[in-house]
Amino acid sequence: MSGNPVPLAMPLPRLAARDCEATTLFREMRKPLLRYLVCLGLSMDEAQDVVQDAFLGLHRHLSGGGSKENIRGWLFRVAHNRARNHQNSYDRRFGASLDPEFDSLLDEATPERAVLEKEKFRQMGKAIRALTDCERECLLLRTEGLRYREIGEVLEIPTSTVGDTVDRAVKKLAEKCNV
């Protein structure tokens, strides 16, 4: 039969359709996850790797019939745990420095506003460095819109502890930033 054509259909969209839910979530959750990870101290490249790993894990989780309950919390929990593997970067710590790029971002504002903003951010950076790891992580997850219960699930601490920690951390920042 040599020379006879064999139609070869490759339905790649079947793969894509199965991943469609994960892709929609990826669009919605990518930036909050990146922001959380970068603020934890990871570089952007490391954060992107962690986010990609988390979504690959989500794909496997959903493909394997895993629960769709609170996927946002699931993603943050996985990303948080994987970020721990980047311990060296993690130690760089959020608020550790205000680098030149950070300054140039503020330069886009009017001079007076830029000075005020820089000063506020310097105070905030200094105040953040005085927080404990748990306080910082609770505030970061709160900033991304997680409820206290969800934060507790990500950090594996009781919800009541999250409430106390957030309360303490916000009061510390307010006091040190004179807000």
Partner 1 sequence: MCNYSAKLIAWLDHELPENEASNLEQHVQGCAECRRLAGSYEATSDLFDGYCEAVLASEKPSKMPVWTPVALGAAVTAAVLAILFVFLPAQLEQIPARSPIAASPPAIVHSAEALPVKRSQRRQHALAPIQNPQHNEQTSWPTESAIQVTIPADAMFPPGAIPEGVTFVADINIAADGLPDRLQLQP
Q: Which of 50, 61, 73, 79 binds partner 1 (CB under 8 A)?
A: 73
Distance CA 83, CA 51 (A): 9
Residue (26 or 78) nearer to partner 1, CB: 26
9 binds partner 1 (CB under 8 A): yes
Both structure tokens of 87: 């311990």
Question: Hey, is 42 helix, strand or coil?
Answer: coil
Query: Least distance from C-beta 90 to partner 1, angstroms?
Result: 14
Q: Which of 59, 77, 93, 129 binds partner 1 (CB under 8 A)?
A: 59
Contact 140, 170 (CB under 8 A): no
Q: How many residues bind partner 1 (CB under 8 A)?
A: 82
Distance CA 162, CA 83 (A): 20
Distance CA 14, CA 20 (A): 10
Question: Hey, is 130 helix, strand or coil?
Answer: coil
77 binds partner 1 (CB under 8 A): no
List the interface residues with partner 1, window 139-178 (CB under 8 A).
Answer: 139-140, 142-145, 147-148, 150, 163, 166-167, 170-171, 173-174, 177
List the interface residues with partner 1, window 84-113 (CB under 8 A).
Answer: 94-95, 99, 101-102, 105-106
Which are the contacts of 63, defined by CB distance < 8 A and separation ≥ 6?
A: 18
Burial class of residue 34, CB neighbours in 10 A (0-12, 13-18, 19+): middle
Query: Least distance from C-beta 86 to partner 1, angstroms?
Result: 14
Query: Least distance from C-beta 117 to partner 1, angstroms?
Result: 8
Query: Least distance from C-beta 81 to partner 1, angstroms?
Result: 18
DSSP symbol at 156: T
Residue (86 or 94) nearer to partner 1, CB: 94
120 binds partner 1 (CB under 8 A): yes
